[in-house]
Structure 1
Amino acid sequence: MIRSGSTPIPDTPLGKHRMSREYRMPSSRLARLAKMGRLAGGLASGVVSEGARQLAKGNRPRLDQLLLTPANARRLGDRLSEMRGAAMKLGQLISMDSGNVLPPELSEALARLRDKAHYMPLGQVAQVLENAWGKDWDRDFARFIFTPLAAASIGQVHDAQLRDGPRVAIKVQYPGVRQSIDSDVDNMATLLRLTHALPPEFDLTPLLAEAKRQLHDEADYLLEAGHIARYAEHLGDDPRYELPLTLPERTTAEVLCMHFLDGQPIETLAALPRTQRTQLATDLLELALREVFVWGVVQTDPNFANYRFNPANGRLQLLDFGATRVYTPPFRDALRTLLLSAIDGSEDDLARAAAQVGYFTEDDPLRYRQAFVKVLGIAAEPARRDVPFVFAGSDLPRRMRDALIQLRFHDRFSRIPPADILYLHRKISGMYLLMARLEVALPLRKIARETVSA
Structure 2
Amino acid sequence: MSKEHRMPSSRLARFAKMGRLAGGLAGGAIGEGTRQLAQGKRPRLDQLLLTPANARRLGDRLSEMRGAAMKLGQIISMDGGNVLPPELSEALARLRDKAHYMPLGQVAQVLETAWGKDWDRAFERFIFTPLAAASIGQVHDALLRDGRRIAVKVQYPGVRRSIDSDVDNMATLLRLTHALPDGFDIAPLLEEAKQQLHEEADYLLEARHIERYATLLGDDPRFELPLPLPERTTAEVLCMRFLDGQPIESLEHLPATERTELANTLFELALREVFVWGVVQSDPNFANYRYNPVNGALQLLDFGATRLYAPDRRDALRALLLAAIDGSDAAVARTAVQVGYLADEDSAHYRDAFVRLLRLAAEPARAAEPFAFSGSDLPQRMREVLVQLRVRDKFHRIPPTDVLYLHRKISGLYLLLSRLKVRLPVGEIVRHTLTAPPGRPAD
The interval holding the TM-score normalised by the smaller chain is over 0.9
Describe the SS at the equivalent of 2:210: helix
State the Cα RMSD in Å: 1.5
Residue 375 of structure 1, aligned match among 333, 337, 357: 357
Find out whether 1:205 has 2:187 as its counterpart. yes
CA distance in 1: counterparts of 2:64 and 2:357, whole angstroms: 37
CA distance in 2: counterparts of 1:58 and 1:371, whole angstroms: 39
Match of 1:6? none
1:180-236 deviation per Cα after TM superposition (whole angstroms, max 9, x unaligned): 100001101111111112232543222211211110000000110010000000000
Find out whether 1:186 has 2:176 as its counterpart. no
CA distance in 1: counterparts of 2:93 and 2:346, whole angstroms: 31
Match of 2:291? 309
Residue 253 of structure 1, aligned match among 228, 235, 251: 235
Which amino acid in structure 2 is aligned with residue 449 of structure 1? R
Match of 2:21? 39
Unmatched segments (≥5 aa) in structure 1? 1-18
Match of 1:398? 380
Q: Measure how far apart 1:362 and its partner are.
A: 2.6
1:75-105 deviation per Cα after TM superposition (whole angstroms, max 9, x unaligned): 2111101110111011111111142443332
CA distance in 1: counterparts of 2:396 and 2:221, whole angstroms: 44
Match of 2:102? 120
Which amino acid in structure 2 is aligned with residue 310 of structure 1? N
Describe the SS at the equivalent of 2:362: helix
Match of 1:337? 319
**Do the aligned residues in 2 keep the contact of 1:154 with 1:173 (CA within 8 Å)?**
yes
CA distance in 1: counterparts of 2:43 and 2:343, whole angstroms: 40
- Normalization by structure 2: what TM-score? 0.95
Which amino acid in structure 1 is aligned with residue 267 of structure 2? L
Which amino acid in structure 1 is aligned with residue 362 of structure 2? A
Find out whether 1:66 has 2:48 as its counterpart. yes
CA distance in 1: counterparts of 2:27 and 2:316, whole angstroms: 50
CA distance in 1: counterparts of 2:378 and 2:324, whole angstroms: 16
Q: Measure how far apart 1:412 and its partner are.
A: 1.5
Residue 142 of structure 2, aligned match among 160, 182, 189: 160
Find out whether 1:22 has 2:38 as its counterpart. no
CA distance in 1: counterparts of 2:86 and 2:354, whole angstroms: 24
Distance of aligned partners of 1:348 and 1:70 in 2 relative to their CA distance in 1, 3 Å threshold: closer
**Do the aligned residues in 2 keep the contact of 1:386 with 1:446 (CA within 8 Å)?**
no
Describe the SS at the equivalent of 1:97: coil
Describe the SS at the equivalent of 1:245: coil
Unmatched segments (≥5 aa) in structure 2? 437-443
- Normalization by structure 1: what TM-score? 0.93
Aligned residues: 436
CA distance in 1: counterparts of 2:134 and 2:127, whole angstroms: 17
Match of 2:413? 431
CA distance in 1: counterparts of 2:407 and 2:2, whole angstroms: 34
CA distance in 1: counterparts of 2:325 and 2:399, whole angstroms: 21
Q: Percent identity?
A: 78
**Do the aligned residues in 2 keep the contact of 1:170 with 1:258 (CA within 8 Å)?**
yes
Find out whether 1:449 has 2:431 as its counterpart. yes
Residue 174 of structure 1, aligned match among 156, 161, 166: 156
CA distance in 2: counterparts of 1:436 and 1:230, whole angstroms: 30
1:151-192 deviation per Cα after TM superposition (whole angstroms, max 9, x unaligned): 000000000000114100010000000001000011011111
